[in-house]
Structure 1
C-alpha cells in the first residue's frame, strides 16, 4: 500500500523563532516532541546525517538535514514499512510559519494492517500533540488536540511495552 500522511500547522511566529525550537529536537530540553506523553525521540549521534534512532518501536536514520529548514528520515522499522518522513519549517510571510510533517512510504501486507489499525492512529495523535506543544510555546496557551477513543485504547495496550523501547 502507498502511504502519504501529511500534517500542517500554521504558527503565528516568524520562521526564525520557530526554527530555534526545532534546534532542541531530540535533546533533554526538547521543545517540540511531546515526550511527557509519548516515547521520547532519540538519536545515537545527535541530529546529523547518518545518525540512527527513533521513538518507541519506530526506527529510522537521518538521511537529509538542513538546520532551520527540514530534517528527513529513512524508516528501518517496523518491518515491511519502506519510505521516509520529513519535518519541515516554511515561512508563510515575515510573521507566520507553517510546520509540516509528511510520511511517504510503501507497506507490505502485514505492515499495511499495522499502519491502518495501529501506527496511523498513534502517529496522527503524536504529531498533533507535537504541533500543539509548538503552538503553546508561543501563545502560553493550552491547546490540546483531543484523541480518538481508539488512540486512548491503543495507548493503554502499549503502555509500558514496546512503545517505551530505548535506543541502544
Structure 2
C-alpha cells in the first residue's frame, strides 16, 4: 500500500526566514516542532546527514539535508514503514514562502492497518500544528490554533498509556552494577 501525504502552508516571510525554522528542528529552542504538545523530535547528532532519532514511536535517520531549504528523514520505525518524510521550503510570490511536509512511503504488514486507523490521524494533527507554529512565528495574530479532534485526543491517550509497556530496561551487567550495603559481593571498605 502506497501513501503520499502532503501538508503545506503559505508563510508571509522570506524563504531564508522560513528555512531557519527547518534548520532549528530537534534543537533546544525548536520553533517549528510542537513539542509542548507532542513528543519532541530528537536526533543523536543534531540535524546532520546520518543522525538517528525520531519522535514518539516513529524512528528515522536524516537522509539528506540542504540547510535552509530541505531535510529528508528515512523511516526506521515502526516496522512496515518504508519511505521518508521531509520538510521543504520554496519561494511563492514576493515576500511569501511555502513550507511543505511530505510523507512518501509503502506500508507492509500490520502498518497497512496502523497507518489508516491511528498513525495518519496523529500525523495530520501534529503536522498541522507544526505549520501553525511556522505561521505564528511571523504572523501570530493569524495563526489558527487548532483544537485536537476528540478521536485524536483518544488516540494520543491510548498511545501514551501503551508507550513503553512490555519494554523494560536491560539489566545492568554485574560488572557495572553498583554494590549495595547488603550485597555479599560488595568489596570491604578500605581500612583507615
Higher strand fraction: Structure 1 or Structure 2?
A: 1
Q: Is the 8 A contact 1:48 1:62 kept in 2?
A: yes
1:123 aligns to what?
123
Indicate the SS of the match to 1:17.
helix
Deviation at 1:161, TM superposition (A): 4.5
2:189 aligns to what?
none
- What is the 5 A alignment of 1:19-34? 19-34=19-34
- What is the 5 A alignment of 1:3-152? 3-141=3-141, 142-152=143-153
Q: Is the 8 A contact 2:34 2:129 kept in 1?
A: yes
Identify which of structures 1 and 2 has the higher relative contact order when contacts are C-alpha pairs closer than 8 Å and 6+ apart.
1
| RMSD of Structure 2 on Structure 1 (CA) | 1.6
Q: Which runs of 5+ in 1 are unaligned?
A: none
Which of structure 1's runs of 4+ aligned residues deviate more than 3 A? none
Count the aligned residue pairs. 164
Q: Which runs of 5+ in 2 are unaligned?
A: 168-192
Q: Work out which of the two has the higher radius of gyration on C-alpha atoms and give 1 or 2.
A: 2
Could you tell me how far apart the structure 2 residues matched to 1:104 and 1:125 are?
17
Could you tell me how far apart the structure 1 residues matched to 2:38 and 2:139 are?
22
Q: Is the 8 A contact 1:15 1:94 kept in 2?
A: no
Deviation at 1:70, TM superposition (A): 0.4
Could you tell me how far apart the structure 2 residues matched to 1:74 and 1:21 are?
20
Q: Deviations over 1:123-160 (max 9, x none)?
A: 00000001101111111235212322211110111235
